[in-house]
């Protein structure tokens, strides 16, 4: 089974460098018309130049693909609206959105300014919402859309010094969960990538060179390509690095039931190991899952007593 994107239009944010560049080139090589968006800043978000994104466009067009450059800042609603309008004027649809633009402002929390906290949330989480909001009505109208948001092991599992970044990346899980439910009847699928790869973002964090060399952006792009394909899943979190691929889930333990007289912190402390046991974990389709589990436990207790 070969996967292609002929006739599809894709927007990739932050596509001047690293993962976004690899995503844009691969989508174009497989037939998509691609908007290569990037404001061209440094890793911490300062500065700006369209030249890196333009080089990606030149590369795609020289290889026989179709791409246009766009310098919108994903945190600016008017610039994103203009990018989507330009895309619609040129190609008449938007099938794929890869929310990839990102920056770092790492600091331990006691040294982190709230300005740096807000800025990172703004680029990753609010930027993802702004770009998605701009294409959402188009995808609903088309009854077709594929959206990937770029989360991180930092959001799923935690990294020292990344309270801002981790919060933004974890926020994407809730964002995806809601849009998965809201988009289902319009043929819109939304998924998350949780990558680790050799890009300018990871050059200085102490990963040994031989390992870093295996962590290619192209390995991440393979998962992205699957997640925006016709037969993509929805609400999947795909963790990937160096050729390893796994699926992430938010799960809950089975837990216990405590009758009213036992609903005390002391009883919870006494039963903490049972509450925490991962022997029987649940993955729920939506937020009513835990309540149903607890109602069933309460009913079982009532039936037995």
Any idea which residues carry the catalytic annotation? Answer: 165
CB of 282 to ligand NAD, least distance (A): 27
CB of 50 to ligand NAD, least distance (A): 10
Residue 238 interacts with ligand NAD (CB under 6 A)? no
Contact window for ligand NAD (CB under 6 A) among 108-116, 199-207, 251-259, 282-290: 199-207
- Sequence-ordered list of residues with C-beta below 8 angstroms from that of 108, at least 6 positions apart, any chain: 160, 161
Which among 236, 237, 196 is positioned nearest to 220, based on CA atoms? 196
Residue 164 interacts with ligand NAD (CB under 6 A)? no
Out of 150, 177, 191, 229, the residue judged to bind ligand NAD by CB under 6 A: 150
**Cβ proximity to ligand NAD, 25 vs 255, nearer residue:** 25
Residue 170 interacts with ligand NAD (CB under 6 A)? no
Contact window for ligand NAD (CB under 6 A) among 101-109, 112-120, 139-147, 261-269: 101-109
**Cβ proximity to ligand NAD, 73 vs 177, nearer residue:** 73
Out of 102, 145, 166, 183, the residue judged to bind ligand NAD by CB under 6 A: 102
Size of the site for ligand NAD (CB under 6 A): 32
Which of the 8 DSSP states describes residue 186? Answer: G
Instruction: Note whether 130 and 180 are within 8 A (CB).
Output: no
The overall longest dimension of the chain from CA atoms, in Å, is 75
Which among 35, 24, 31, 28 is positioned nearest to 5, based on CA atoms? 31
Hey, is 136 helix, strand or coil? helix
Integer Cα distance of 203 and 114 in angstroms: 26
Instruction: Note whether 197 and 216 are within 8 A (CB).
Output: yes
């Amino acid at each position: 089974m070969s996967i292609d994107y002929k006739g599809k239009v894709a927007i990739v944010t932050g596509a001047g460098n690293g993962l976004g560049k690899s995503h844009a080139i691969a989508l174009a090589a497989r037939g998509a018309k691609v908007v290569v968006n990037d404001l061209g800043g440094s890793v911490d978000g300062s500065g700006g130049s369209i030249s890196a994104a333009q080089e990606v466009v030149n590369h795609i067009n020289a290889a026989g693909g179709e791409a246009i450059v766009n310098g919108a800042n994903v945190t600016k609603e008017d610039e994103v609206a203009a990018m989507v309008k330009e895309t619609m004027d040129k190609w008449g649809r938007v099938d794929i959105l890869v929310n990839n633009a990102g920056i770092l402002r790492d600091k331990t929390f006691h040294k982190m300014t709230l300005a740096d906290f807000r800025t990172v949330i703004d680029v990753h989480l609010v930027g993802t919402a702004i770009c998605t909001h701009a294409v959402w009505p188009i995808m609903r109208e088309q009854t077709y859309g594929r959206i990937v948001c770029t989360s991180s092991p930092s959001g799923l599992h935690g990294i020292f010094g990344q309270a801002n970044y981790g919060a933004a990346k974890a926020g994407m899980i809730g964002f995806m969960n809601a849009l998965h439910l809201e988009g289902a009847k319009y043929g819109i699928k939304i998924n998350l990538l949780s990558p680790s790869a050799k890009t300018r973002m990871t050059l200085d964090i102490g990963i040994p060179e031989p390992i870093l060399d295996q962590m290619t952006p192209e390995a991440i792009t393979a998962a992205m390509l699957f997640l925006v394909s016709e037969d993509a899943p929805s609400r999947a979190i795909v963790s990937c690095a160096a050729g390893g691929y796994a699926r992430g889930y938010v799960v809950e333990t089975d837990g216990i039931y405590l009758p009213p007289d036992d609903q005390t912190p002391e009883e919870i402390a006494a039963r903490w190991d049972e509450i925490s046991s991962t022997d029987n974990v649940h993955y729920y389709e939506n937020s009513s899952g835990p309540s149903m589990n607890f109602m069933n436990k309460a009913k079982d207790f009532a039936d037995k007593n």
